[in-house]
Structures are given as structure tokens and as C-alpha cells.
Amino acid sequence: MTSPVRQEETELITMSMDLQLSLLASGEDARKAIPKFRCRSCDAPLQTSFVDLGMSPLCQTHIAPEQLHEMEPFYPLHAYACDECFLVQLQEFVTPGEIFSEYAYFSSYSTSWVEHARRYVEMICRRLGLGSASRVVEIASNDGYLLQHFVARGVPALGIEPAANVARAATERSVPTLVRFFGRETAGQVAEEHGQADLIIGNNVLAHVPDLNDFVAGLRALLAPTGVVTMEFPHLARLMEGNQFDTIYHEHFSYFSLVAVERVFARHGLTLFDVEELPTHGGSLRIYARHQAHEVLALSDRARSLHAREVAEGFLTRERYAGFGRQVEATKRRLLAFLIEARDQGKRVAGYGAPGKGNTLLNYCGIRTDFLEFTVDANPYKQGKYTPGTRIPILAPEAIRATKPDYVLILPWNLKDEISRQAAYVREWGGRFVVPIPEVRVLD
């Protein structure tokens, strides 16, 4: 009998095992022996672990009752920081085509987000003097929640959206929408057919882009010589400060600081000349970019001071990133200690919400129905299903009143004020709300 493993493969495996053993013996992380991936921004090998959240299923793959006896795909959820350009990132295990082609998220369902969009449109039209002769393009325009406000003002707008079902909703709102992913190729075609854009908008899309350089090169190709790009995305500094490790999931490929995003844009001839810090999604940045040559738009004090702040806080050093994993492990232990004590005392614990971030938290902490009997969600699409991986039943919010749990763990902690107000009746039987992030805490 010949072994199915060839000689050179055996040698490679042995070498890797020897390396793992010697790393373990020296107190180092044995996974350093695993082959390295490369940075999606600058192509340097990735060596610095930011946080390893173990194996996790995709966060939107809720399990139907008839799927309960089937297995689920799990992928590594391990974020690295690049030692060269300091972009924090995940590897791409699933293509955006698999994630975004039929997307269940319609931006218009969130009234606070639609209001955020309306205020933005008012501000940017005034700031850039946009009118009927201008051209606005939004990438990942979803159901037209934002562009509808330009259309209402008579400013010509075009949406680019990969999910056909949400794009259809935009078209029904009279927002012209192309069903496409954005990159160099799409940018070239749009520029040719519709002309270059005076304003390109991208909200919560940059983090979802696997080929970052192709995307930013596309921005440059589509942007008119005097045009402006604005993009919003969660700010890495807030993620770290607020311990928001649960906002890391497979659909988010990149986690940006200002200094890391500046480098990506500079590589493609674009300068970030202004930045705003916003409270949305636990703390976001809105960056303003222009062509390097269009120096009329001068660097703002806000851009200068945030850049200086990040440099002072060490965002251009490896050490800034290397300690985050330990901080996350401590958060996990404290949450589990709370749940173990509560269950030991015979308390009943239910969840509120079944968001993507809940999936990362539950899987990483190993919280299943032994700790959380069920969770509830207002979205009827999720009710009757189970959380991915941990398979906790998702019920309608009425289940809370029916079972009167002692503790209600709010999984979308960014909405804790709204939820504790809406479900204030929990206090009628002495129930308490609990948030897991930044640290487990029972609300007053």
C-alpha cells in the first residue's frame, strides 16, 4: 500500500508541526506557523493578529426549522492588521456575489437612517452647490433611500446596486438604478454613458469591498476633475475603544482608521481633504475626497487634527493593534461569568434582536440555548428561524411578555435606548436589561 500523501507533502507537514511545537514551547502563538495571507490594500504579508474570533457561520444565514438537522459552513473569523499600511482586515472566504445578490436589508426600514440621509442631502447640496446640471452617483444605493432626496430636488442621480431585489424597490421610487457591482469596469462604462460625476457617494460599502484597489481606482475614473467623493464607514478607533468586536463579521472585509484609508485613496491619486466623525453604527467617519490636482479644496482643520490624533494614538504602529485580542478575550470571560452566575441562580435569560453582530458575539462566546433560551426580533423574515451556528430560536417580541425572563440581553447594543424604551414593560415583573458591549452591564 502506498500512502496517499506524497513525500514532499509529508516533509512540509512535519516542518509546520515542528514549528508549531517550538512556538508553543516558547510561549508564542502556535498559529504563527500557518501560511500568511496578503494585505488587500498594499499586498504586504499579514503577520499581526488583531483578533481571532474562531470559526463562525455567515451572519445572515438564519436557519429554517427544516434545516436544523443539516450542517452549516463555518469560516475562520480572524482579523489581521497590516504591518505596512495598518489596514485591519479579514480574508475573503465568501464572494460578495454570494452575500449581496439577494439582500434582505432594505435601508428604508430604518427611519433614523432615512432621516440621516435626508439631512446629508440637504447639507451636501448646499456645500457643493448642486443643481439640475450636476450629476450624482451613489454606490450601493440600496432601495433609493438616499437618492430619492436628490431626485425630489431635481438633481440628476444614478444608483449602482448589486442586489436586484433592493434595486427594484429603488426604480419603483423613480431612482434610476443599475444592477452592478462597482469597480474600474463599471466606472468606465458609467462615465461613458452618463458622464463623470460631480458627487460620488458610498455609505457603508467600503468595508464590504474585497478588491479595494479596483474599487478606489473606479472612484477616480468616475469622478469629474472638480468632483467630490463622500464615503461613510465605521471608524476603527471607535471599534477598539468601545470593544465592538462583534461588528467584525465575514461580510465586513476591512476596518478603517483615517490613516489607513488615506493611503488607499492616495495610491489612486485621490486626496482626503475633510472628515466628519458621526455617531452612526457605534461611531463612523464621513470622508471627503477629491483629485490630488484639485487643490482649490484645501485640507480642513478637522482632517488635519484627526490625522494627528490617530498618529499620536499609535495607529501607525504595530503595537496599537497587537493587544486588542486580549481585551476581547477578557470581555468574553466577563459576559460568560455573568451568564453562568445568572443561570446558577435559576434566572431566565432571553435575548432581544438577531442582528449580524449578535451572531459574532454568540458564536465567539459559545452562547447557546443553555444560556439564552430564545431571542426575539421585530423582522418577520427572521421569526420562526434560528440564529446561525448557535441555533437559538428567534421569536416575535411578544415572547418576552409571555415568558417574563429575569434578564433581557440586548444584542444590537447600539439601539439599547430605543429597545429599553419600547420594551419597558419588562420592568413590570422585575426584569432587567443587559448589554454585552463594551462590557457586560445590567441597565438601571
Q: Which residues form the interface with Zn ion (CB under 5 A)?
A: 39, 41-42, 44, 82, 84-85
Q: Which is nearer to Zn ion, 85 or 99 (CB)?
A: 85
Q: Which is nearer to Zn ion, 84 or 211 (CB)?
A: 84
Cell of 356: 449580524
Q: Which is nearer to Zn ion, 44 or 336 (CB)?
A: 44
Q: Which is nearer to Zn ion, 85 or 155 (CB)?
A: 85
CB of 284 to Zn ion, least distance (A): 22
| Residue 409: C-alpha distances to residues 93, 238, 239, 354, 373 (Å) | 30, 22, 20, 11, 11
CB of 144 to Zn ion, least distance (A): 35
Residue type for position 211 = D
Give the DSSP letter string of 22-63. HHHHTTS-GGGGSPPPB-TTT-PBP-EEEEEEEEE--TT-PB
CA distance 363 to 55: 8
CB of 249 to Zn ion, least distance (A): 21
Q: Which residue has the cell 419597558?
A: 424
52 beta partners: 78
CB of 354 to Zn ion, least distance (A): 34
CB of 216 to Zn ion, least distance (A): 14
CB of 328 to Zn ion, least distance (A): 22
CB of 361 to Zn ion, least distance (A): 28
Strands (E), 75-221: 75-81, 88-89, 136-139, 157-160, 177-178, 197-203
CA distance 314 to 308: 10
For residue 44, how far is the Cα from the chain centroid?
23
Q: Which is nearer to Zn ion, 47 or 61 (CB)?
A: 47
Query: Any idea of the CA torsion for 312, 316, 321, 327, to the nearest 10 degrees?
Result: 10
CA distance 379 to 104: 10
Three-state DSSP class for 95? coil
Q: Which is nearer to Zn ion, 84 or 373 (CB)?
A: 84
Q: Which is nearer to Zn ion, 264 or 410 (CB)?
A: 264
Q: Which is nearer to Zn ion, 84 or 406 (CB)?
A: 84
Q: 248 Cβ partners below 8 Å, 6+ apart?
A: 51, 53, 77, 79, 90, 239, 255, 360
36 beta partners: none
CB of 89 to Zn ion, least distance (A): 8
